[in-house]
């Protein structure tokens, strides 16, 4: 806290009436690339994220500074001019939130000074962008007394990601960051936004996040292409099935779906979506049964599907997962969009140290990069730090 307040003062040369907020990152345990297909997902808010220190001004100026992008310095904007500007980089997320709120009729009368500092690695698959968006929405809700619900905050943040930033993501990231519950994961129905809190840990095991440190920019990756491919599959299947989302389909229908979709690529995308939905349903049962072995098998099947049917892994993620499984993890998979970023592993407590050593050695030898490990706890969603 002292570091944040001192940093704000050093940037803006004042320290009066400051408020501090925290927005977590997230890890998705299982249910990948199906949130934009109306699927069930199983994410948790985590103990690394994004902090914001803010001062409410009495004019319409907004000053933004991020310790994660120090080369940009202070970005000066005006509430009356919130158009996207490529030169403003990360600050466009803040501009997008304010712009959307104003367009929806909310009263944003005054600007603010904001200092942001996050310990989420960017482009890692832990939702640093969604963490920032939800942080901004929560700050705006607090400063301007907008009385938004947490689900409304999530939906507004997603709309900015989709329409202002050009990333066609589903609702999962923003929803878990807004609504996370300490020590729990949330089984989310992304079609209805219903949520059910669930235990997400097993005695004797620890979740370990492994960061490839292979930087990719999701907006420029094939993520949006995957969204389009799923839309193409849905369009074909709507000629026979009365469905709104791919995840309404049963795994038993895949042989019939194969006859309808002649394009191999589109079929493989649909196959992943349908089977991943089935795995997420099974994962809930495994958690209730306290069956780490059964749960781990679903993680491994998920990674195989993401590698072969959805093609979003690559050498960096595959190397981490294969090495982790060889040296102590009972289950492992890519988490997040893929194309780099992070993987998650379920590891016996007494094997974590050895696994990390071996994974680090193998990964560096094969890729020339250094893996980073995070042993996180599951936390509450966005809020003010008192």
What would the DSSP string read from start to end of 20-84?
EEEEEEEEE-S-TT-GGGT-EE-EEEEEEEEEEEEEE-SSSEEEEEETT-GGG-PEEEETTB---
Encoded tokens for 273:
């979506």
Distances from the Cα of 110 to the Cα of 80, 81, 135, 247, angstroms = 11, 13, 18, 43
Could you read off the pLDDT of 69-99 as tens digits, one per residue?
Answer: 999 999 999 999 999 999 999 999 999 999 9
50's CB contacts (< 8 A; 6+ apart) are 22, 23, 24, 25, 116, 117, 118, 120, 128, 131, 132, 135
Count of residues for the chain?
A: 386
| Residue 207: φ, ψ to 5° | -80, 130
Whether 93 and 132 have beta carbons less than 8 Å apart is answered as yes
Q: Which domains does the chain have, with CATH numbers?
A: 2-199+379-385 (3.30.230.10), 205-374 (3.30.70.890)
Inter-residue contact 72 to 89 (CB < 8 Å): yes
In tens, the pLDDT along 328-378 reads: 999 999 998 898 889 999 999 999 999 999 999 999 999 999 999 998 889
Residue 128 CA to residue 219 CA, distance in Å, equals: 13
- Low-confidence residues in the chain, pLDDT < 70: 123-125, 216-221
Task: Order across the sheet with 185-189: list the strands.
Answer: 40-41, 185-189, 194-198
Instruction: Give the pLDDT confidence score for residue 386 in this predicted structure.
Output: 84
Residues 35, 113, 141, 173: which is the catalytic one? 173
First-to-last CA distance in the chain? 10
Residue 237 in contact with residue 330, Cβ under 8 Å? no
Q: Supply the pLDDT for residue 224.
A: 87
Q: Identify whether 173 is a catalytic site residue.
A: yes
CB 277 within 8 Å of CB 34: yes
Smallest CA-to-CA distance from 134 within 180, 167, 192, 103 is with 180
Tokens of 110: 């005054």
Contact present, 383 and 245 (Cβ < 8 Å): no
């Amino acid at each position: 806290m002292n570091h944040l307040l001192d940093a704000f003062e050093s940037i803006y040369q004042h320290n009066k009436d400051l408020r501090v907020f925290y927005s977590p990152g997230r890890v998705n345990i299982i249910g990948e690339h199906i949130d934009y297909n109306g699927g069930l997902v199983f994410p948790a808010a985590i103990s690394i994220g994004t902090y914001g220190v803010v001062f409410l001004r009495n004019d319409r100026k907004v000053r933004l500074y991020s310790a994660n992008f120090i080369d940009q310095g202070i970005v000066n904007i005006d509430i009356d001019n919130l158009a996207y500007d490529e030169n403003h980089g990360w600050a466009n997320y803040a501009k997008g939130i304010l712009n959307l709120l104003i367009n929806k009729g909310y009263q944003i009368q005054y600007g603010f000074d904001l200092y942001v500092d996050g310990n989420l690695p960017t482009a890692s698959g832990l939702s640093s962008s969604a963490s920032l968006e939800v942080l901004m929405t929560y700050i705006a809700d607090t400063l301007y007394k907008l009385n938004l619900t947490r689900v409304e905050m999530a939906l507004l943040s997603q709309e900015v990601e989709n329409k202002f930033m050009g990333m066609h993501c589903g609702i999962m990231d923003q929803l878990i960051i807004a609504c996370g519950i300490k020590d729990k994961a949330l089984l989310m129905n992304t079609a209805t936004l219903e949520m059910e809190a669930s235990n997400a840990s097993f005695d004797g095991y620890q979740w370990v996040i492994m960061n490839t440190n292979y930087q990719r920019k999701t907006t420029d990756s094939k993520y949006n292409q995957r969204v389009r491919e799923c839309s193409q599959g849905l369009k074909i299947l709507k000629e026979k099935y009365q469905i709104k989302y791919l995840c309404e389909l049963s795994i038993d229908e895949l042989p019939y779906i194969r006859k309808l979709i002649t394009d191999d690529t589109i079929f493989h995308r649909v196959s992943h979506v349908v089977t991943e939905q089935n795995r997420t349903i099974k994962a809930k049962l495994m958690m209730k049964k306290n069956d780490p072995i059964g749960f781990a098998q679903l993680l491994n099947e998920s990674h195989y599907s993401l590698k072969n049917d959805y093609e979003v892994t690559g050498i960096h993620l595959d190397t981490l997962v294969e090495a982790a499984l060889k040296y102590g993890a009972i289950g492992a998979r890519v988490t997040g969009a893929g194309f780099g970023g992070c993987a998650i592993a379920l590891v016996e407590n007494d094997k974590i140290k050895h696994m990390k050593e071996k994974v680090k050695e193998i990964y560096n030898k094969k890729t020339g990069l250094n893996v980073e490990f995070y042993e996180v706890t599951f936390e509450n969603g966005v809020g003010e730090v008192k």
